[in-house]
Amino acid sequence: MPVCKTQALPINTPPVAQGCCWRAYGCAQWPLSLRCILLQPDCLIVIPNLQAALDLLCAAESDPRPADAVTSGWFRARRHFSDSDRGAILDLLYTLLRHRARLGWWLARLGKTDTPRNRLLAWLALGQGKTPDQIKRLFDGAKRAPAAITGPEYALLVELRGGTLTHADMPEEVRLECPPWAVAPLQRRFGPDFGVEMAATLVPPPLDLRVNPVKSTRDSVLRGLKAMGLRAEATKLAPHGIRLRERLSLVRLAGLKTGEIEIQDEGSQLVAHLLDTKPGDRVVDFCAGAGGKTLAIAAQMQNKGHVIACDINQARLKRCAERVRRAGLHNVETRVLSSETDQWVKRHKGGFDRVLVDAPCSGTGTWRRNPDARWRAPELGLPALVALQARILASAARLVKPGGRLVYATCSVLCEENEEQVAAFLAAHPSFHSVPLREAALHLPIEPKGDHLALTPARHETDGFFAVVLQRAALVVA
């Protein structure tokens, strides 16, 4: 594969994003997607409140919660921001999170501490091409502006002047923003496509919606969105999905309040469809969380049958119940479990047609949407997380009736959590077998590869997801 020698990245990497204006700096052969990710923009982010963006970055980095949870609470306490200001502040926050390793590398190279303020200064110099004096005028200590630039900070800006985000000495994993703990498993997973796949995780994702067929149709919602002047299109793979390729205030989407639409990545929608539920089925969503897939499953069943959303987190299930009511669904029950081996599982052994295990995982498939997640290694460590997934899968399998199906899914792209996890389960549970994807998902317009669904941002323009359909042997009647 030919490469551009200045940056050592594949020239013929497939494009995964469109619509940005960027300077190529002699790498014009690169596809637009990688130019967008790794080079400097002509379209500069305008921040009316630079200090607010810096404060939010500090809050996000000092809080163990995901960045989206931190920002939600942060803005609730500061309702004076307009929608446009809020959007600009969030844009800068997520831009800095997506460039954390590269900015940190530059600061370390120049002997500077990797602090949020230094990282912001480095981004303005390297990412937006501003001169030291231009940045000095932004940091003047006035209202809504950061404190004045110090002498050492100005010296840093002088050293960064004329530089670019990437550098010939920069290691590949730094250039691709891959955390140390994930380099080996991701290289093992993708092999020669490691660079392409990791670059795709740096592209900001579009906004995907799922239409609730109980309340509306995709055609009707599309007409409404286009009447608002939005660039909306039907998703290529998910039958109820809509994709918006522009940022907007969610307040404009009235359907979110009425239950006509939900925000859900196209890949997540496809996982729910793999259950292939029918009206009247009995279904368990074993790790339901806030209920995104639960809602899709219940609607797919046309509000008939019975769906039980389980989780160990009561607060998440409360949120799930609220969304169920808003969606106009009456076939969903929530149940809090004490653990994956709760006695409820034993009492309902063999009682369900379909069981979904959307297992807790490393989240490596969601990095383009949650760039902060890549810098939080699995709390338990990857081996312990894999062991937890195995216990959850084995316990949930008890709920499946003879002839019924179990869908195991993660939002991870790591073999340890996916193919290897399933292989270990099948070896220990001979009453189950995997169902070829071609047979399990006749309605999906995707070329099957083996028995599982494996989505990545580079190949499918979705978050990274893995899913496999496992069927329990039917009882043989003598």
Helix (H, G, I), strand (E, B) or coil at 467: strand
- Which one from 36, 287, 320, 411 is the annotated catalytic residue? 411
Measured between alpha carbons, how far is 131 from 118 in angstroms, rounded to an integer?
A: 15
| Helix axis angle, 83-98 to 100-109, nearest 10° | 60
Helix (H, G, I), strand (E, B) or coil at 91: helix
What are the tokens at 347? 């009492």
**Residue 411 annotated in active site:** yes
Q: Which of 283, 316, 317 is nearest to 297 (CA)?
A: 283
Q: Which of 436, 375, 413, 409 is nearest to 181 (CA)?
A: 375
Helix (H, G, I), strand (E, B) or coil at 245: coil
Interacting residues of 33 by C-beta distance below 8 A, sequence separation 6+: 13, 14, 15, 16, 17, 18, 199, 200, 203
* Cβ pair 32, 53 in contact under 8 A: no
Measured between alpha carbons, how far is 446 from 443 in angstroms, rounded to an integer?
A: 9
Partnered with residue 432 across adjacent β-strands are 472
Q: Which of 444, 476, 478 is nearest to 467 (CA)?
A: 444
Task: Read off φ and ψ for residue 150, nearest 5 degrees.
Answer: -90, 170
Q: Active-site positions?
A: 411
